[in-house]
Structure 1
Amino acid sequence: PSGIPPAPQAPTTPGVVGGTGGGGGAGGTSPGTGMVPSYSDARIWAAPGDWTPAPKSPRQVVDSVIDVAVGAYIDSVATATANRGRAPGDWTYGSGDTKWGVDPKWIHFGKVKVPTALLAMLPINAQANPTWNSRERAATRWDIDFHAQRSLTEDEFKKSVKRIRERMERERQERLGEAP
């Protein structure tokens, strides 16, 4: 090469929809904005076809409902048949001393068995919804502050009532000429 080739011309003019390929996206006005696909772009949104399914007849709707209900029953019967002889809560496979899984008493790791009670002692950091917890803590804090303020207000009220009663008693004694 004997020199630097000239810069290529921009394929679009500013303010005009641009882009490349067969899509229908709206292009940007600079290389920084690039091409912006739209819903009319066939790569993003498939246009609806000419064919739409016909609505089901009442007989077909009833058949679908029965199929779902019977299908659930057949699945549960198949599961019960496959697990015949197993105790509820027995999620183990294998046999003899090479059992794997969890049953109500043990966690089986092949030839090693660990009591399931130890599962409760594991430091599993399970937590609830942190947003809910935060709101509950804030509500509890507000409730405590509100009732603490109310308690102070009641104490002040009781003191005021006591001072008024003492003043009225003093005034009554002064009217009667009694010494306090």
Structure 2
Amino acid sequence: MTGSRGGVVVCGADGSVGARHALARAVRSAASRGARLRVVAAFDPPDRSFGWTVGGGVGIPIPSTTEVAAAIRADVADTLDDVLDELAAEIPVSPELDIVVEVGPPSSVLLAESMDAVELVVGHRGHGVVSALGSVALACLLHASCPVTVVPEPASRAATITVEAPAAARA
């Protein structure tokens, strides 16, 4: 493991193909900087305002917020392990790693988790359909206090975009 002398690189993870490619880019960036990698996933809490019933009133259990967070953490850890295995020849010493799973809107969670970051890396499109760029990527580009790298899927003809926040926003 490398040290965190190079700060923290934050990467959004949502289970999409784009996020997986962003994760590979973030691993490379963190390793080259000697930075710690913080992989962040956000989710909406299970809706317990209504009960699911089937047939004679038998309820279908809705998972707790803790159970959902644990499942997401396990999925992120598996994806991260796969990406690190794929990059092992290129990056023999992995960066130090943190996985953060929080309840909340993805853009808000990513912006909060990247306040101390040297870079925020997100996929070009996740699961949303708000804009051609993706609503989370767009919010991060507009509001992050650190440089933001938006990574397209390899099949895309789009270029990787890195935008650095104005100095006034970083102050």
Name the TM-score class by shorter chain.
Answer: under 0.3
**Larger % of helix: which?**
1
Structure number with the higher strand fraction is: 2
- TM-score normalised by the chain length of structure 1: 0.17
Q: TM-score, normalised by structure 2?
A: 0.18
